[in-house]
Structure 1
Amino acid sequence: MLYIVLVLVLAALGLLVAALITANSLWAWISIGLSIVAGLLLVFDWLRRRKKRAAEAGAESDSESEETDAEDSEEVEDSTPAGKSDADDEKKSEDAEQTVLMPAAGELGDADETPEPQRNGDPGEEKSDPADVAIVSELETEVVVVDEYPRYHVTSCAWLESRDTIPLGIGEARQLGFTPCALCTPDADIAGQHRDKTKADS
């Protein structure tokens, strides 16, 4: 296109020179017409190039948008199952912990039977005699608790095994909301020791 415009400009220039030399106005008008045509071709070429650039820019933008959407989709697919799986595992773990914290059927039936320790959670709650509760609530005899479990135990409790324990006074443990272990029966044990000691002192 530019080559054609250049030829037309040179032809118009040649005709203009010829018109000046021969004093013929026809050559001058033809030169003007060729110049106008060359100008129109330049404008047309500029508009065509501009439209082409806009189309290419739009195509690149669409391509980048599609790539971004594809990457976002892949990230969502990669992250969603893992997050969902973690949430499901956590919920199952909480459900399991709540289940094992419930007293076993044997504990509800007969308070005199010693329940088996539950490996995955805390043993059931001791059914303390009200008289024992009244005694131990006033004492500061040391018991132990395990973080994130609701029971308190005597230090010799078989359920403790190798778990990390926290020592507390029994009265303080009850005030904090801990309840006695059904396996080692700390209320009955400590209240009995206190009665024996009181009798011996008297």
Structure 2
Amino acid sequence: MSGEDKLNKGGGGRPTRKDAEAIDARILSAAATLFIERGLDGTSLEAVAAAAAVSKPTLYARYAHKTQLFTAVIRTNVSAAMPTFDGTGIGSSTEERLRHAGRAVIEGALQPTPLGLMRLYIAEALRHGPLIRELDRVGREVALTAIAGAISDPKAASTDRARIIAGHFLDMVFVPHLMRALLDDLPDESDPLHPSLEERIDTAVAALRALALLPSD
């Protein structure tokens, strides 16, 4: 008996919204695990349905083909990995907020499932280039928006300056730190070219100050 049948047993009708959300979450979790383990080409919708304990019609009603499911997995995990900022404990200066938000975004992205999916990006880039590039842009935009939103001046008419700062921060800190993490290459105190995350953040903040992009507050 599938998980959805268990939910419906005795209910006499369609699953509740809560039950439907539980089914969705189970499908996306199972799909993420299988994609990471087997790759995009090696994962079938039938295997996802079995792993998620749902019927194939239930899965196909939500995702007509594998690309839709893969896209949903990436979007869901990108969103889940991004922290939310309510202003509490984030700091009063732009620099403090940048440090806090940037660190949180990077640490969220380097959790096991997001990191595994990013490794999958690389493995699938040649076979599924357009899709991978599109999803990579989605991930970058979500990260950029999160950091820019945390550091932007609520009184400013535009967030352009905050987005520029966030973009440079991602390029100077996130990208090189991520590359090392993808290789499972931990920071090395004896290697100045392989610094810790905090050291990368310090260097980026200093560079942004030197470029007069980071206000002194």
Would the TM-score normalized by the shorter structure come out above 0.5? no
User: What TM-score, normalized by structure 2, do the two folds share?
Assistant: 0.22
* Greater relative contact order, per chain length (Cα 8 Å cut-off, separation 6+): 2
Give the number of the structure whose alpha-carbon radius of gyration is greater: 1
User: What TM-score, normalized by structure 1, do the two folds share?
Assistant: 0.23
